[in-house]
């Protein structure tokens, strides 16, 4: 029997299962059981599985898996959670750290308030309310978030030919000058509305600053009522020094029998 120990955390309502794999024994290629681990209610249940591994070029390496078992380049709220987790397990000894992701190297800082701030990759490919903020996001500006069919309309846009073959995350937003955003996100890989999305908060803020007259720092209200803050620099053409700050919370820890997980059908 293979037992996997884990910690459950959430970042602004975005929940994750985190595993310490510095010894390299986690079955990283077993995507169907990773998906089973993330499934509700039969597994632990989460919006992403995060694995911490050793890195030859940074304090550690973060690998992120969507609830469907696919690996993604980055998750903003997950990156904030992994910073706190890495400090807890002794992967780093300082409140400041640098870690490796598939989207590049990120730095993080655990603030005295308990909030976690991370650097984010420079946004790129800005076009027609679309931006890659670590992962792709399509922004849809609306007047009333409560009336939006996030799952229906979000799923349609996510799978549209415009974003084939990989699809995109979809953020429905309300902008309020000078620096407020409300957002609901349909997340690729979750294939549903998510409680919060860190890269979506960054994408919404970046598009708001570039095209809708907002100013940094931008306060992004998530669907569960948490506040994420996006700050950075914009020279009228390019963004730099993008940072995402918000709360994280350790919920519980546990262990699961890996071999007994009921694998999700492909």
- 71 with 26: CB under 8 angstroms? no
- 242 with 119: CB under 8 angstroms? yes
| Residue 46 annotated in active site | no
- 179: tokens are 């620096």
- 83 with 52: CB under 8 angstroms? no
Beta-bridged to residue 239, according to DSSP, are 234
| Active-site choice (75, 81, 97, 220) | 75
Q: Cα dihedral sign for 189, 194, 209, 83?
A: negative
| Active-site choice (197, 207, 228, 229) | 197
Question: d(Cα 169, Cα 136) in Å, to the nearest integer?
Answer: 6
- 169 with 197: CB under 8 angstroms? yes
Residues marked active site are found at 75, 197
């Amino acid at each position: 029997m293979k037992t996997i120990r884990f910690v459950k955390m959430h970042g602004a309502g975005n929940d994750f299962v985190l595993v310490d794999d510095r010894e390299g024994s986690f079955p990283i290629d077993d995507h169907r059981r990773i998906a089973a681990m993330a499934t509700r209610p039969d597994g632990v249940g989460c919006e992403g599985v995060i694995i911490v591994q050793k890195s030859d070029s940074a304090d550690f390496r973060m690998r992120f898996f969507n609830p469907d078992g696919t690996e993604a380049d980055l998750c903003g709220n997950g990156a904030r959670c992994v910073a706190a987790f890495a400090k807890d397990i002794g992967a780093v000894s300082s409140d400041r750290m640098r870690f490796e992701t598939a989207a590049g190297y990120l730095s993080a800082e655990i603030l005295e308030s308990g909030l976690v701030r991370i650097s984010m990759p420079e946004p790129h490919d800005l076009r027609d309310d679309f931006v890659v903020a670590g992962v792709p996001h399509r922004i849809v500006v609306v007047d009333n978030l409560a009336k939006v069919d996030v799952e229906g309309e979000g799923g349609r846009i996510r799978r549209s030919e415009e974003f084939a073959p990989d699809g995109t995350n979809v953020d429905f937003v309300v902008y309020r000058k000078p620096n407020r955003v409300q957002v609901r996100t349909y997340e690729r890989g979750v294939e549903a509305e998510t409680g919060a999305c860190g890269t979506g908060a960054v994408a919404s803020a970046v598009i708001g600053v570039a095209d809708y007259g907002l100013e940094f720092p931008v306060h992004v209200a998530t669907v569960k009522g948490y506040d994420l803050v996006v700050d950075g620099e914009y020279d009228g053409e390019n963004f730099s020094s993008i940072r995402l700050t918000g709360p994280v919370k350790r919920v519980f820890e546990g262990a699961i029998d890996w071999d007994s997980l009921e694998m999700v059908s492909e």
